[in-house]
Chain A
Amino acid sequence: MTAIVTVRDLRKRYGDIEAVRGISFDVLQGEVFGLLGPNGAGKTTTVEILEGLRKADGGDAIVDGIDVSKEPAKAKHRVGVQLQQSAFPENFTAKETVELFALCYGVTVDAMALLKEVDLADKAGQRQEKLSGGQRQRLSIATALVNKPRVLFLDEPTTGLDPQARRNLWELVRGIRQSGTTVFLTTHYMDEAEVLCDRVAVMDHGQIIAMDPPRALITALLGRGFSKPVIQQQANLEDVFLDLTGHELRED
């Protein structure tokens, strides 16, 4: 598999704080790649450099063959972006929001088809500010898909969502991956990374401290003699919650 995102010795500093300290990694074409880490680890800075929103202090960031620091505008055409806080201009309907972003890329889209893809067709005429958190995250993904990106960046896409909305978003991400788009996501939910990601990189204090498929990392940990008290239960509280409240989306 070929790399679609290549990062080499990437550095970024804000004043005294070294947010990213010379990290290197590849994201392979077609995979779901997860960048994990606690708050302040440098995930968002890394993603924003790749999205062309921030300038790196040093190192290379290549997306789909384009050096992001040299040709940010060109790189922006190749990627889809969902920022951590997905906010859109007010007084636009969901459909108009999609059209607005298509216009920003200079492309025309079938906004209704895109909204259908993210299960928002029935909300097309509603003002985006009236949508629920989960609906707005899905709208955010629709706007990130207007330019048929090669890589889709999702920065903490499920933060603040209820269990139903989270699972719904996971399905959406799986569908996007299946259509051939590479997905680069950051999260600090390990269960999310475990079910969604083909490979993950764990970042802390501006450095990557581990990188592998989730299963490999778990196996390696067990291999180092790790064990935790085994509790024999076939379900957890979330399973109970979903069993009681159902998988149906609760939004309106």
Chain B
Amino acid sequence: MRQALLLTLMYFRAYVRDRTAIFFSLVVPLMLLLIFGSLNLGAFGKVSLAVDDQANNAASQQFVSGLEKIDTLSITRESSDSAVAALKRTELDMLLVVPKDFAIAPTRAGQPVPTLTIYGNDARPQQVSVGESIVIEVITRLSFAVNQTAPVISLKQEDVQGVRLRYVDFLVPGILGVNVMQLAIFSVAFALVVDKRRGVLRRIMATPLKPSTFLVSQVVTRLIMATLQVLIMIAVSVFLFDVHPLGGILPLLLVALFGAVLFLTIGFALAGWAETENQVPAIAQLITLPQFFFSGVFFSKEAAPEIIRPITNLLPLTFLNDALREISVQGATLWDVRTQILGLLVWTAIGLALAVRFFRFDRF
């Protein structure tokens, strides 16, 4: 016990001295958090709408200023020619042409009315449909006002508390998960393959040190590192991005450590299997890259093609991210995320079996 503790301290001291290791376990994760946290990818953004007001009369000006009051629209005034060119370059979402005969006046059935034309950017269908709805809504209101009729149905809006999810709230748990995965797999796989190839492990095995004691020191060193990483990231999220994990920091940390243990077993299996450190990145990327994109790190895991979703839902990182996100965003307790924790434990068992199979001290 004392031996394991001292050995851990020695290895931790060496780990902290390794600038490359620190870069990958602390600096890169922070960069990911800062870059993606400030990108605000989840926001829909504004619909950019160019208006070619060919009428340029009181009525058209009233209409356009009505549009300008709407936050979602970012309005510029442009001639049709230049706006169409901008549309083709995808610099613009929509063009609204207000005809010369534009007027706001009471109408009677059968009488011709001024016709507005909308050009939409095919590449941005979501923005175009939102923009169209807004323009139609403004026209409807004007019609009601002018024709002195009232809408037959009214809509009352109510916000549901707590669902006001910003992108950064969604992002932080995913970033925690993916970085714990990277730390656990890469730090073990690289360091131990190098030690294996250079004969360091063999030299240590020539001493009476028990392999289990050595393994404990390696695992605990990484768990301390993962704890530091998680705490620093949470601190940055809280102070910089105003993210407040609803379920508390301790459950978040515990689940992250569950994940760390799981990915450590995979790291050991990889370190045992690989002959040289050159093989490590290829296999490690093969394991981590799909999870990077399909396990809900930067965007919802529902973005994965439906046909592979039964598989992506069972990926180790998916369990980890789901659990972290439910705790952080929905305030779930450890008991609430027991299914995900069970998933992590099953994967840990698989990883452990692989590690025992491939990481063999008698073969070093």
Contact = CB atoms under 8 A, between A and B. Distances in A.
Interface of A: 51-53, 55, 73-74, 76-77, 81, 83-92, 96, 99-101, 103-106, 147
Given A103-B10, A106-B3, A90 B205 contact: no
Given A77-B208, A104-B209, A88 B203 contact: yes
Interface in B189-210: 194-195, 198-200, 202-209
Q: In which size bucket is the chain B interface?
A: 20 to 34
Given A53-B206, A96-B10, A100-B10, A91 B17 contact: yes
Nearest to B362: A55
B6 interface: yes
B203 A87 contact: yes
Given A103-B7, A106-B3, 6 more contacts: A76-B208, A83-B202, A87-B195, A89-B200, A90-B14, A96-B13
Interface in B1-39: 3, 6-7, 10-11, 13-15, 17-18
A89 B196 CA distance: 10
Contact of A81 (B10, B14, B206): B206
13 contacts: A76-B207, A81-B206, A87-B199, A88-B200, A90-B14, A90-B194, A91-B15, A99-B10, A104-B7, A105-B207, A105-B208, A105-B209, A106-B3
A70 to B, nearest CB: 15
Given A53-B206, A77-B208, A91-B18, A85 B10 contact: no
A53 B301 CA distance: 48
A87 B198 contact: yes
Nearest to A74: B208
Given A53-B202, A83-B203, A89-B200, A104 B208 contact: yes
Contacts of B203: 81, 83, 86-88
A14 B7 CA distance: 34
B17 A89 contact: no
Contacts of B199: 83-87
A86 B7 CA distance: 20
A92 B198 contact: no
Contact of B195 (A53, A55, A89, A105): A89
Contacts of B17: 91
Contact of B200 (A87, A96, A105): A87
Contacts of A53: 202, 205-206
Nearest to B10: A100
B334 to A, nearest CB: 36
A14 to B, nearest CB: 12
Most buried by A among B15, B194, B202: B202
A106 B199 CA distance: 21
B206 A83 contact: yes
Contacts of B6: 103
A89 B11 contact: yes
